[in-house]
A and B are shown apart, each in its own frame.
Chain A
Amino acid sequence: MAWISETDLGTKPAPDSARTVSLRIDGDTVTVPEGTSIMRAAALRGTNIPKLCATDRLDAFGSCRLCLVEIEGRAGYPASCTTPVTEGMVVRTESAKLAKLRRGVMELYISDHPLDCLTCSANGDCELQDQAGAVGLRDVRYGYDGANHLQAAKDESNPYFDFDPAKCIVCSRCVRACDEVQGTFALTIDGSGFGSKVVASADEGFLPSECVSCGACVQACPTSALIEKTVTDIGTPDRAIVTTCAYCGVGCTFRAEMRGEQLVRMVPWKEGKANRGHSCVKGRFAWGYANHRDRILNPMIRESVDQPWREVSWDEAIAHTASEFRRIQAKYGTRSVGGITSSRCTNEETFLVQKLIRQGFGNNNVDTCARVCHSPTGYGLSTTFGTSAGTQDFDSVEHSDVIMVIGANPTDGHPVFASRMKQRLRQGARLIVVDPRRIDLVHSPHVDAAHHLPLKPGTNVAVLTAMAHVVVTEGLADEAFIRERCDWDEYSDWAAFVAQPERSPEATAALTGVPAADLRAAARLFATGGNGAIYYGLGVTEHSQGSSTVMAIANLAMATGNIGREGVGVNPLRGQNNVQGSCDMGSFPHEYSGYRHVSDPATRTLFETAWGVSLDPEPGLRIPNMLDAATDGTFKALFIQGEDILQSDPNTHHVAAGLAAMECVVVQDLFLNETANYAHIFLPGSTFLEKDGTFTNAERRIQLVRKVMDPLNGYADWEIVQLVAQALGLDWQYTHPSEIMDEIAALTPTFAKVSYLALEEHGSLQWPATDAAPLGTPTMHVDGFVRGKGKFVVADYVPTDERTGPRFPLLLTTGRILSQYNVGAQTRRTENVAWHAEDRLEIHPHDAENRGLRDGDWVSLRSRAGETTLRALITDRVAPGVVYTTFHHPDTQANVITTDYSDWATNCPEYKVTAVEVSPSNGPSEWQRAYADQAARARRIETEAAE
């Protein structure tokens, strides 16, 4: 694809395009939706009126005064960006007078601008340069000796972009992007008149400011006042390829802008339906891990984990892998081996791994990292609604009136969607936050939650049931909806249950910590405030009652009639780029692709026919069961693609013991991750930039991942799995991932109409894409629930077995931070460490005072499972009795602390509740030191013994 600069129509589309208006522009009749600006109307017919402050991502501003036009019958020269079209209007975009005015304005701009365009990093990609040419400026009669800003100092503090105020034309596009698009309000115009300047926060520089480095300002800047350091270093890009981000489940699409084989920058794609042209610091900037020096590019093997790694050829590594699995299965049985698919890899790669296991290994011992995040979502929503996925698209939030966020921190975890949500909140939608912590959404610029219910970790079900109690006992349930769409008897049973006095907000307040009056008010608002939408995250699922909580959410949505149209729904915010996809692709031990049970003969026959083997009808082992079986000596080999279970799974000691008990652990990854410390075969993986495929985001949206460069390691991940399969004797002959998708579509009803051709044509598809809905399904359960009648499930609150007591008086809950991603394998290998170089323990000032802790002190964090040390961050963002940390850094290993309690239905670990004690410490624990030693030994790579 050649370089195509995205077209910019200058102003946003008209909000209500039902009626059209005809007008004349430069002699031609143009018909556009009512409310369209003259600028946009002209651009749609191909007339680009000169402009600098206008861009179609932002509200019209009218400050640069280049876009003036003449309108018959009107005095003066109105700005075309801020003037809407009217019927019969006659507009001239060019005249001698307009040319003179525009040149006059441009002459002023250039009288205060550097003149060294040819050596400027935006040379050739600068709107000021373009417009100076367009208006025909040839001389600046004021000379260049007047007052100016050319001595202003550059701000190079941000690791990804520079701000050069001398090149700033004060168009406010950056400020407006920060306000309107991102919603952080970090930038402002300081001073007035000629002294006006862009500053971050209180003029403290970009890095120390509130700026979250989403990149919207850099994207909005028409000059090189704000520009990516990579453009300065490399030069402007010469081609662009649209692809999908490999970080979180929002699934932003980006233009990978290239020069040759070199990635210059990632720019969010305006047409992207998930992100609508916006981005966050990770997708926009944190891609440097792709060529980080830590990346392993050659296959390696070793006999035992105390040996150093030995680099081998791909042939040897693949042959060794196949022979080890065959050897172990011969010795310990068919079911003694298994594999783990990756939510970081493509649908096609995930499908191949589970196929390798089912077809090649002959068992169902496949699981995926969704086990530890959203498996309760699958269980809960499929039980109640009939589909293991969220009900809406992201656009839906634009129609919401009340938004309830439970156990999610979107501004950190799903920042691009959070910005969309904040746009809606600024328009007047009301917000309810249910979270133990005072997350940013509770109170941030121009966003205030109507209610924050700061519940005690582990009491989700009690809180949701109390809300349901209010809805039912105060007569706020949507009876018409329930009678039409749900099973009335089941509803009646459920309603009788939640209406019991002991479920009331008052009766449960002591338990949940949520004041009853607040809870009642929140429930009333949700039930009566118009379109109510629920968004939730791992704060819901990663509990011993994760599945119950998901069902309690579904119950509340059905009881209030908030399902089946835009603006409502139950929406899991998925953690990983392709966690939805990996679940869809049959990564669970009991399900084929499309969530069909392995014991179902019809489905099994379908796959047996397609794959030419007989398949195991018994569900296989889940990850924790595999580890248990390994320590028991019955499970001996594991193929892990793109997941670091040692760092990400709970109770690190137990995971390590399980891995150590295996005879062959294969890790396919970009880096020697923590799990690789226990691996015998390392197969270097490829990044999302190096492969074709698809990811499915949290809205069930299937989007293309496009290869922008050749794999540094030699093969895309799907090719590596195919090589292993071929070495095992399977007849796999895929030449392109599109053929894998064709197989998925043929075998999976909900993917029936999905193909690369369709994806190219439509940009993306939201499954189910079937004959009935060939273009996909943005909103689920519109005319009826997928399962038929919506099912109310009585979800009784059962306290977790993990209790605080004298030895462990505090509750630990864990989460993420904006700049880091999960176990940090990628983000720790980028400049994002500038914002978060270590995990910190958030602790309330009261609890810190009791323990004699000061901010920044080293503390020991102990649970029944283990102990680690990290530094304290004293903040009232957490309630007394609750501590919080992130799990991005292996030095900390927060999962040494977490226990092996898990969700009753799905085994999803209870990461969010661990009873702990915190005490002062001098530094890393003994375990941390031992672990660091082991890791250093395990990561040795044997160098050629040439000298």
Chain B
Amino acid sequence: MIRAYVSGDMASVALGADEVVAALAVRGVEVVRTGSRGLFRIEPLVEIDTPEGRIAYGPVEANEIDAVLDGTHASRIGRIEDHPFFARQQRFTFARCGVIDPLSLDDYAAHGGWQALDKARALTPQAVVDEVKASGLRGRGGAGFPTGIKWQTVLDTRSPEKFIVCNADEGDSGTFADRMLMEGDPFCLIEGMAIAAHAVGAGHGFIYIRSEYPFAIRVMQAAITRAAPRIAPFALEVRVGAGAYVCGEETALLDSIEGKRGQVRAKPPLPAIEGLFGRPTVINNVLSLAAVPFIVAEGAQAYQAVGFGRSRGTMPIQLAGNVRNGGLFEAGFGITLGELVNDIGGGTETGRPVKAVQVGGPLGAYFPPAMFDLPFDYEAFAAAGGLIGHAGITVFDDTVDMAHMARFAMEFCAHESCGKCTPCRIGAVRGMETIDRIVGGGRQPGGLEAMPQMRNAAARPRDRAAEIALLRDLCDTMKFGSLCALGGFTPYPVLSALDHFPQDFDQPATAQAAE
């Protein structure tokens, strides 16, 4: 019997994977549903077991199955590992994703699964924490805080109860690595959490998944059930979000798990000391926790050897937006933005020149091609006025209106603000209004300001420059005054758009492009 591998990932299914599977099934082919390999241009992707290995075809339509089965399909790729998009990658975290059946404990074990947990449990908690520290792993959710130090704090905080919380509220537009991992290799995340639990002395863990990820929720729940005996006495459960972006902020996420309104908490106290239900809590991103099994199994040195500056190991980078090779690309830090966008991403899907890329989700900065020599590194990006964030890269061609994108950033902030702190709650709305006035060329004093009762208001017209100065002041207030990264990072896209594309604030980009 022929065995084929087809991804059951949500993106693959969206591209027609289920229809392809149905067509294969009709022909008596045994189909193994895997996670996605991570290059969506070649999805739906079918891999056929052959004596030479798994031979891939993609993209494949359901009505082209016969050609796949007889090896004549025009989209024959060959061994996927040899495809240039994959050959350049260093897959530490996503090594099994797209390869194994995500819910097969046998598959997982056959591909090195649980070795790390067994090894960790043979060590003292401190030794495990030391290993994670030595790896140089930093929080992959965006803040880049050293994971080992966070764990050390939880380990050192005495409490009758501790928790491991996985932040799988992957809300940044253009990011999907968490989802792919949960759908493609859920045991890897579970193993990482179990190791964390051993390292800090936690008995219970939660995976907080956004409700927009029904596949991931289903797969994680099934995987938890199957892995329960393996990870016992550590116990895990899935908690599903309710659509609030701000619940990706760790303290709002904790409030949400506690059943409260998802609202950002002031820090201190740090969650590592007073986290979920007031107990010491490790809260890490999916990618941070999923990197741990590799680190423990292969040794901190193997992970630490890769990277750039203080950014060690690999980063699963997500290419999205107007890009030809959209998908997941795991590579060591240090690769340049230009390599990622042009060499790996293949430039824009529309074929027009790249105008800007936004790195780090909707709160990341926009970079023009002039800055494409920037190495992918936390410090380098910070120095350039941006952030890596969750390593989402969204590509725009030259038709994009950056004033519009700046306004969108404020609009996004206004839409997703929890409403707790003033700079974010009111500032985002004023930001939208101010950008509108900038684009509109300024404003005359309003009716109220012109009243003789108003002696203190400046009753003079405000030109575009004055409004831009106000926008910069507002960004300053939001950046330094906001309680969390939502309001605090919204100025990144706004100011980078203003700094790198000032002409878009004078006239619409479409008009420029037409010139």
Is A62 a contact of B266 with CB atoms below 8 Å?
yes
- Which residues of A in the span 118-153 have a Cβ within 8 Å of any Cβ on B? 138-147
- Which residues of B in the span 366-420 have a Cβ within 8 Å of any Cβ on A? 414-420
A797 CB–B CB distance under 8 Å:
no
Is B428 a contact of A193 with CB atoms below 8 Å?
yes
Question: What residue in chain A is nearest B244 (Cβ atoms)?
Answer: A192
- Which residues of A in the span 756-784 have a Cβ within 8 Å of any Cβ on B? none
Residues of B within 8 A of A188 (CB): 261
Residues of A within 8 A of B417 (CB): 192-194
Interface-located stretch among B133-141, B315-323, B470-478: B470-478
Residues of B within 8 A of A101 (CB): 476-477, 480-481
B293 CB–A CB distance under 8 Å:
no
Is B446 a contact of A77 with CB atoms below 8 Å?
no
A289 CB–B CB distance under 8 Å:
no
**With A and B bound together, what is the CA distance between A115 and B417 in angstroms?**
26
B95 to A: closest C-beta gap in Å: 36
Interface-located stretch among A104-112, A204-212, A301-309: A104-112
Is A143 a contact of B268 with CB atoms below 8 Å?
no
A429 CB–B CB distance under 8 Å:
no
A60 CB–B CB distance under 8 Å:
yes
A824 CB–B CB distance under 8 Å:
no
- Which residues of B in the span 413-458 have a Cβ within 8 Å of any Cβ on A? 414-430, 433-434, 443, 445-449, 456-458
B462 CB–A CB distance under 8 Å:
yes
In-complex Cβ contact of A194 among B268, B428, B462 (8 A): B428
**With A and B bound together, what is the CA distance between A196 and B246 in angstroms?**
14
B325 CB–A CB distance under 8 Å:
no
- Which residues of A in the span 469-519 have a Cβ within 8 Å of any Cβ on B? none
In-complex Cβ contact of B423 among A65, A112, A142 (8 A): A65
B306 CB–A CB distance under 8 Å:
no
B29 CB–A CB distance under 8 Å:
no
Is A111 a contact of B426 with CB atoms below 8 Å?
yes
Residues of B within 8 A of A115 (CB): 448
Residues of A within 8 A of B462 (CB): 141
**With A and B bound together, what is the CA distance between A111 and B423 in angstroms?**
12
B77 CB–A CB distance under 8 Å:
no
In-complex Cβ contact of B480 among A76, A112, A140 (8 A): A76
Is B443 a contact of A191 with CB atoms below 8 Å?
no
- Which residues of A in the span 303-350 have a Cβ within 8 Å of any Cβ on B? none
- Which residues of A in the span 58-78 have a Cβ within 8 Å of any Cβ on B? 60-65, 68, 76-77
In-complex Cβ contact of B418 among A76, A84, A97, A193 (8 A): A193
Question: What residue in chain A is nearest B474 (Cβ atoms)?
Answer: A104
Known: A104-B477, A147-B433, A170-B425. A192 touches B418 (CB 8 A): yes
> Count the A residues whose beta carbon is within 8 Å of the partner chain — how many?
45
In-complex Cβ contact of A146 among B433, B445, B456, B483 (8 A): B433
B382 to A: closest C-beta gap in Å: 11
- Which residues of B in the span 299-353 have a Cβ within 8 Å of any Cβ on A? none
Question: What residue in chain B is nearest A52 (Cβ atoms)?
Answer: B422
**With A and B bound together, what is the CA distance between A112 and B326 in angstroms?**
43
Is B443 a contact of A143 with CB atoms below 8 Å?
yes
A100 CB–B CB distance under 8 Å:
yes
A83 CB–B CB distance under 8 Å:
yes
A29 to B: closest C-beta gap in Å: 23
Known: A68-B481, A104-B481, A193-B419. A145 touches B446 (CB 8 A): yes
B468 to A: closest C-beta gap in Å: 12
Is B261 a contact of A139 with CB atoms below 8 Å?
no
Is A83 a contact of B268 with CB atoms below 8 Å?
yes
Is B426 a contact of A189 with CB atoms below 8 Å?
no
B416 to A: closest C-beta gap in Å: 7
- Which residues of A in the span 185-202 have a Cβ within 8 Å of any Cβ on B? 188-189, 191-196
Residues of B within 8 A of A827 (CB): none
Contact with B along A80-120 (1 / 0, CB 8 A): 01111000000000000100110011001101100100000
Known: A64-B421, A140-B457. A109 touches B426 (CB 8 A): yes
Contact with A along B83-117 (1 / 0, CB 8 A): 00000000000000000000000000000000000
Is B419 a contact of A170 with CB atoms below 8 Å?
yes
Is A105 a contact of B422 with CB atoms below 8 Å?
yes
A15 to B: closest C-beta gap in Å: 12
Contact with A along B461-472 (1 / 0, CB 8 A): 010001000100
A297 to B: closest C-beta gap in Å: 47
**With A and B bound together, what is the CA distance between A493 and B443 in angstroms?**
92
Question: What residue in chain B is nearest A146 (Cβ atoms)?
Answer: B433
In-complex Cβ contact of B268 among A82, A108, A146 (8 A): A82
Known: A147-B429, A193-B415, A194-B426. A63 touches B477 (CB 8 A): no
Known: A172-B420, A193-B425, A195-B419. A143 touches B446 (CB 8 A): yes
Is A84 a contact of B268 with CB atoms below 8 Å?
yes
Output the residue of B266, B426, B445 with the most chain A CB within 10 A: B426
B358 CB–A CB distance under 8 Å:
no
B467 to A: closest C-beta gap in Å: 9
**With A and B bound together, what is the CA distance between A466 and B415 in angstroms?**
60
- Which residues of B in the span 472-505 have a Cβ within 8 Å of any Cβ on A? 473-474, 476-477, 480-483
Is A77 a contact of B480 with CB atoms below 8 Å?
yes
A281 CB–B CB distance under 8 Å:
no
**With A and B bound together, what is the CA distance between A462 and B4 in angstroms?**
75
B301 to A: closest C-beta gap in Å: 31
Residues of B within 8 A of A646 (CB): none
Is B481 a contact of A77 with CB atoms below 8 Å?
yes
Is B430 a contact of A64 with CB atoms below 8 Å?
no
Residues of A within 8 A of B414 (CB): 193-194
In-complex Cβ contact of B419 among A83, A140, A145, A194 (8 A): A194
**With A and B bound together, what is the CA distance between A702 and B491 in angstroms?**
59
Is A108 a contact of B422 with CB atoms below 8 Å?
yes
Is B481 a contact of A196 with CB atoms below 8 Å?
no
Residues of A within 8 A of B466 (CB): 141
Is B433 a contact of A63 with CB atoms below 8 Å?
no
Residues of A within 8 A of B415 (CB): 193
Contact with A along B246-285 (1 / 0, CB 8 A): 1000000000000001010011100000000000000000
Question: What residue in chain A is nearest B478 (Cβ atoms)?
Answer: A104
**With A and B bound together, what is the CA distance between A395 and B457 in angstroms?**
52
In-complex Cβ contact of A64 among B422, B443, B449, B480 (8 A): B422
A79 CB–B CB distance under 8 Å:
yes
Output the residue of B416, B417, B429 with the most chain A CB within 10 A: B429
In-complex Cβ contact of A61 among B261, B266, B430, B481 (8 A): B266
Is B483 a contact of A68 with CB atoms below 8 Å?
no
In-complex Cβ contact of B449 among A63, A144, A169, A196 (8 A): A144
Question: What residue in chain A is nearest B487 (Cβ atoms)?
Answer: A65
Question: What residue in chain B is nearest A109 (Cβ atoms)?
Answer: B422
**With A and B bound together, what is the CA distance between A97 and B476 in angstroms?**
10
B128 to A: closest C-beta gap in Å: 29
**With A and B bound together, what is the CA distance between A848 and B425 in angstroms?**
52
Is B421 a contact of A112 with CB atoms below 8 Å?
no
Question: What residue in chain A is nearest B479 (Cβ atoms)?
Answer: A76
Residues of A within 8 A of B480 (CB): 68, 76-77, 97, 101
Residues of B within 8 A of A191 (CB): 419
- Which residues of A in the span 31-81 have a Cβ within 8 Å of any Cβ on B? 60-65, 68, 76-77, 79, 81
Residues of A within 8 A of B443 (CB): 143
Is B483 a contact of A100 with CB atoms below 8 Å?
no
**With A and B bound together, what is the CA distance between A389 and B142 in angstroms?**
61
Known: A147-B433, A194-B414, A195-B419. A104 touches B473 (CB 8 A): yes
Binding site for A on B (CB under 8 A): 244, 246, 261, 263, 266-268, 414-430, 433-434, 443, 445-449, 456-458, 462, 466, 470, 473-474, 476-477, 480-483
Q: When A and B form their complex, which 6 residue pairs have the shortest distance between CB atoms, in order from nearest?
A: A62-B266, A196-B419, A104-B477, A193-B417, A82-B266, A108-B426
Interface CB pairs A-B, < 8 A, 29: A61-B266, A61-B420, A62-B266, A62-B483, A64-B422, A81-B266, A97-B480, A100-B476, A104-B423, A104-B474, A104-B476, A105-B423, A109-B422, A141-B466, A141-B470, A142-B470, A143-B446, A143-B448, A144-B446, A147-B433, A189-B261, A192-B419, A193-B414, A193-B415, A193-B416, A193-B418, A194-B417, A196-B418, A196-B425
